[in-house]
Amino acid sequence: MGALYIMWLRQIKRYWRSRARMIGAIGQPLLFLVALGFGFGPIYQKAGGGNYIDFLAPGIIAMSILFTAMFGGIDVIWDRQFGFLKETLVAPVSRIKIMIGRTLGGATVASFQGIIVLIISIIIGFRPANLLHIPTTLALMFLIALLFTGLGTAIASRLEDMQAFPLIMNFLIMPIFFISGALFPLTGLPEAISLVARFNPLSYGVDGLRQVLTGVIHLGLMLDFGVLIGSVLIVGAIGSYLFSKIEI
């Protein structure tokens, strides 16, 4: 447990030390909320969709968690290039515990980022349907963060070039985000896009957040939790295996 706590604490300290990273992670969600929320709001309302800010906010919260969690994997490459990873891996601690500790730390940071965006959304005009659902909201946010922190770490475990990581991440992040229902409803989509969205784990995270925050039901909360938990276990197992195979 001591190794897990140390790795968890180390990831959080890194986050607090990187002020530019914090500001950058908040800037993009804020831009989406203001530009899209107020820009497309009147059009969405005329189409009978209601308040677009209320629809958009859960998706942007999920987006902020996604970006922060996935790019947390770059710390693995950074540590490898500067020798910190070697010092960690030669310690008498299981590599799986190191992987779990890093993932928990990155997920905590990404969840905190999501909470900040939730607060900003409320300031802008978003109104949660029921504040009693906040604990469920936090649980969903942490599951999303765990899933994509594990995925980012797993990918980074197989890379040695720091410049290649952002390119691969953007290749994955943008499709995952845009085909998740974060910006538009998943109902009435073409069959091909609807099928892809069904296999996108973020779709279930966005749907769960939207359901507990706004009361809009699409896929079902139990299904959302089930898919997220299953995805976390699968990605965690794959990530642990890949991290254990890192050569130093």
In angstroms, how far apart are the furthest CA atoms of the chain? 62
Q: What is the pLDDT of residues 69-107, one digit of tens each?
A: 887 777 777 666 665 666 566 666 676 777 777 788 888
Q: What is the pLDDT of residues 132-188, one digit of tens each?
A: 888 999 999 999 999 998 888 888 777 776 676 677 777 888 889 888 888 888 877
Q: What is the rounded CA–CA span in Å between residue 232 and residue 238?
A: 10
Q: Could you give phi then psi for residue 83, rounded to 5 degrees?
A: 85, -5
3-class DSSP assignment, residue 131: helix
**Does the pTM of the predicted model rise above 0.85?**
yes
Q: What is the rounded CA–CA span in Å between residue 116 and residue 106?
A: 15
Angle at 114 between CA 152 and CA 199, to 5 degrees: 50
Q: What is the pLDDT of residues 107-123, one digit of tens each?
A: 888 898 899 999 988 88
